[in-house]
Structure 1
Amino acid sequence: MSTDATDVTDAPDAVPLGGPRFQTEPALLYRQMRREHGAVAPVLLDGDVPAWLVLGYRELHQVTGDPVLFSRDSDLWNQWDDIPDDWPLLPMIGRRQPSILYTVGERHRERAAMISNALEAVDPHVLRGHAERFADELVDRLCAKGEADLVGDYAMLLPVRVLARLYGFSDEQGPALVTALNDMIDGRERAIAGQTHLATSMAGLLADRKAAPADDVASRMLADDSGFTEEEVAQDLMVMMAAGHQPTADWIGNSLRLMLTDDRFAASLFGGRNSVAEAMNEVLWEDTPTQNVAGRWASRDTRLGGRHIRAGDLVLLGLQGANSDPQVRTDGSALTGGNNAHFSFGHGEHRCPFPAQEVAEVIARTGIEVVLDRLPDIDLAVPAGSLTRRPSPWLRGLTELPVRFTPTTALGGTSA
């Protein structure tokens, strides 16, 4: 194991943060990186841009717990002079972005409080009602067919519909927002159109709610007295929707995959609700939807995990690497008893707000339970080993989850 590189830009053994191994065997890759590089590994982003990836649980706790030393201020980055205008990761690692992601200090705390307060006021019964209704509508569309792709036909369609309703959009606006969000995730030629539709829709929603407030998240954020502009509120709502949709969809898909392929969860396919929560918790430890996060920037020279980190170095949060750190997982007990000490929602001042975590959990659990209730004899339609993941080092989810089941009628009693 080598930890003597003094400059991430000169590390001769930096690992490219991409490639098929992130799709096929990320757990083995993280173990190999930890064995060869230690708790903090030098990596290369697209275009051979250097960064550090934190794989150690304690080291990640240190980084996320010190927002002054490891800042969210992207202006600190010492690589900006070498970043081209068409760098593919600019939407993720942007400069002077106006959203909460890159706000620091007291203003960040005020902004996080505004978001948390707006989400905390969501009635949990109303939330679950929306999630059940949209989940049932999606199952109604496929239940008569006897087969479905639970990723493309279900998981990727559910979270944004619920979030849009909570934020204040009408049900009629929901399908177009689903398309826009999934186009943005696709990252190809449709991404710009998707982003434009989301921004235009959000601006329209805020204009409507400014004129006529209602009992929704957008209205509560506009009513906050911290002095944030409509543009800032719009940016935060877009971040909340994007950050809430894809990981929650992958949480649903990864949990259903586990329950359909692991004998330990077979009973839950016949009505065992407790096993749903256990499967969801295990996914957050072992197969977390958000694998790695960019980023933090060192505000001064420091030491971390035996590495010399220079001022301005980019530090990536290896959430899955830290979750599987053998120093904190010596006996596998992390998966039992509802242990939530994983990093899947982050940690520290910039973690996912607790109310947002609760919203995601209700949507995911409801989505899983509706599938198991409505399609009780569901089974995987392909060998488990043939299931594929997106080749992304950032978000881990299935490209599809083909299943078969006995055809049934929609809830209204007619063929779907």
Structure 2
Amino acid sequence: MNDENAPAPGPPRGCPAARHGAGPTRLYGPEAATDPAAVYERLRKEHGTVAPVLLEGDVPAWLVLGYRDNRRVLDNPRRFSRDARIWRDWAQGRIEETSPLVPMLGWRPDCVSQDGEPHRRLRGAVTDGLQAATARGVRRHATHFANQQIDAFADAGQADLVADYAEYLPMLVLTRVLGLPQGEGRTLVESCAQVLKGGEDAVTHDARIKEILGELAERKRAEPGPDFTTALLQHPAGLDADEVVSHLRLVLIAAHTTTSNLLARVLQLVLTDTSRLSGLISGQLNVTAVVEEVMWNSPPLAVLPGRFAAGDLELGGQRIEEGDLLVLGLAAGNLDPDIRPDPHVSMQGNQSHLAFSSGPHECPGQNIGQAIIEVAVDVLLHRLPDLRLAVPPEELGSTASTWESRLDSLPVEFAV
């Protein structure tokens, strides 16, 4: 068993870190979990805008730190493919099927894993299905479940807005969008969190998600409804059974984890800045402006998996070889000093952040997440107008995985 505090072992010959001639930095382990921003900045100073790193299992990769380099990768699928079948370490058998990287990086029959015409066919089905399902009332669902969540703690005078609100609200809305029973929500929240967290249980939880969604698809074949699952099953693109389940999984994990994380960060910002809180309550500030600020400074996915070099090329002064894995540093790119020399200057009104990715694989469900967050904040402040943080802001902590940094808790108090 690896000791995560031990120095990283020397990389195999031919991997990114070996070619660079330097000891690679792990994107997992104690330091990365407690202060990922410091890791990104150290890598930027040592290597520039593209740095050699190790992922879980000491799998080599390039971390893209520069804003412009991130855009170059995201906007050029011919050079930087999303198809993991060209990933050299995967093709040569160095990635175990039980690796916690597989649920995040492995190939699946979904639109995120493919480029070109296969991507357009599947992406069209997802976009059409989301439009059909969400036209029936995401804001109405979000309002219902926000009130339901608040009802559970409104008489207590205190709550943890991560565990009691942000962690489950997006999933409850998604159960309606996908056509799932509400009772499946808690199981799926836990499993989605474990997939993003990584570790030895990631593959097990990924299998649990696919099992639940496979059963959902079978039910909807027999009993169609006004939901995303039925829309996928009936779409003219003719998705097969594996494609349907893979896209249900994709939407579930992406929409829930990013929205819950973003909602927690928005609430954190609002409750640690009295001017923003009073502005929202008085109507002088809208939630969208706060969300935009968080998108720049604390994107819900700090690192986006992954792209694979379709040929030899140069990026950020580094020699990238065909089959190399690249992971996209969205948080680091948004704070690139080349585009934000002063990170304290407001980016309000500027929507060119990397939080939703970019290019042909840009997040298709961003409007759903935005609607859930806007409703969640509005309902909360309407129901509990004297809401206040119960601890000093500096006591709020976060825990990071390779892919995200999540707020641990957000304790609040309010009058009963």
- Identify whether the pair has TM-score above 0.5, normalized to the shorter chain: yes
**After superposition, what is the alpha-carbon deviation per residue over 1:247-285, rounded to whole angstroms, capped at 9, x for unaligned?**
100101011111111244131463437342222111100
The answer to whether the 8 Å contact 1:46/1:88 transfers is yes
The answer to whether the 8 Å contact 1:131/1:366 transfers is yes
The answer to whether the 8 Å contact 1:93/1:295 transfers is yes
Give the equivalent residue in structure 1 for 2:99.
87
- Does residue 224 of structure 1 match 2:232? no
Moved more, 72-81 or 167-176: 167-176
Distance 1:216 1:393, change over 3 A: same
| Cα distance in 2 between the residues matched to 1:158 and 1:136 | 10
**Residue of 322, 327, 343 corresponding to 2:333:** 322
| Cα distance in 2 between the residues matched to 1:185 and 1:337 | 29
User: 1:209: how far off?
Assistant: 2.4
| Cα distance in 1 between the residues matched to 2:15 and 2:94 | 16
Greater RCO (Cα-Cα under 8 Å, separation 6 or more): 1
Where structure 2 has 5 or more consecutive residues not aligned to the other structure, the ranges are 1-12
| Letter of the structure 2 residue corresponding to residue 90 of structure 1 | V
Listed as ranges, the matches of 1:242-281 within 5 Å are 242-268=253-279, 270-272=281-283, 274-281=285-292
| Letter of the structure 2 residue corresponding to residue 8 of structure 1 | P
Give the equivalent residue in structure 2 for 1:45.
55
Moved more, 373-382 or 99-108: 99-108
| Cα distance in 2 between the residues matched to 1:245 and 1:44 | 27
- Does residue 137 of structure 1 match 2:148? yes
The answer to whether the 8 Å contact 1:6/1:307 transfers is no
Q: How many residues align?
A: 400
Moved more, 282-291 or 9-18: 9-18
Give the equivalent residue in structure 1 for 2:411.
402
- Does residue 18 of structure 1 match 2:9? no
| Cα distance in 1 between the residues matched to 2:284 and 2:265 | 17
| Cα distance in 2 between the residues matched to 1:299 and 1:20 | 33
Give the equivalent residue in structure 1 for 2:384.
375
- TM-score after normalising by structure 2: 0.89
**Residue of 337, 349, 354 corresponding to 1:343:** 354
Listed as ranges, the matches of 1:156-171 within 5 Å are 156-171=167-182
Distance 1:339 1:70, change over 3 A: same
Moved more, 223-232 or 5-14: 5-14
Moved more, 46-55 or 239-248: 46-55
Give the equivalent residue in structure 1 for 2:45.
35
Where structure 1 has 5 or more consecutive residues not aligned to the other structure, the ranges are 408-416
User: 1:243: how far off?
Assistant: 0.9
| Cα distance in 1 between the residues matched to 2:345 and 2:127 | 28
The answer to whether the 8 Å contact 1:23/1:388 transfers is no
- TM-score after normalising by structure 1: 0.89
The answer to whether the 8 Å contact 1:273/1:369 transfers is no
Moved more, 389-398 or 206-215: 206-215
Give the equivalent residue in structure 2 for 1:105.
116
Distance 1:398 1:217, change over 3 A: same
| Letter of the structure 1 residue corresponding to residue 105 of structure 2 | I
| Letter of the structure 2 residue corresponding to residue 246 of structure 1 | T
Moved more, 185-194 or 304-313: 185-194
User: 1:195: how far off?
Assistant: 4.1
| Cα distance in 2 between the residues matched to 1:87 and 1:189 | 8
| Letter of the structure 1 residue corresponding to residue 297 of structure 2 | E
**Helix, strand or coil for the counterpart of 2:102?**
coil
The answer to whether the 8 Å contact 2:220/2:230 transfers is yes
Give the equivalent residue in structure 1 for 2:303.
292
User: 1:207: how far off?
Assistant: 2.3
The answer to whether the 8 Å contact 1:346/1:352 transfers is yes
| Letter of the structure 2 residue corresponding to residue 215 of structure 1 | P
| Letter of the structure 2 residue corresponding to residue 230 of structure 1 | A
| Letter of the structure 2 residue corresponding to residue 295 of structure 1 | G
Give the equivalent residue in structure 1 for 2:65.
55
- Does residue 308 of structure 1 match 2:298? no
- Does residue 66 of structure 1 match 2:76? yes
The answer to whether the 8 Å contact 1:271/1:373 transfers is no
Give the equivalent residue in structure 1 for 2:9.
none
User: How large is the Cα RMSD of the aligned pairs?
Assistant: 2.5
The answer to whether the 8 Å contact 1:57/1:323 transfers is yes
Distance 1:6 1:302, change over 3 A: farther
- Does residue 8 of structure 1 match 2:16? yes
- Does residue 282 of structure 1 match 2:290? no
Moved more, 188-197 or 317-326: 188-197
**After superposition, what is the alpha-carbon deviation per residue over 1:146-172, rounded to whole angstroms, capped at 9, x for unaligned?**
111111111111111101101122445
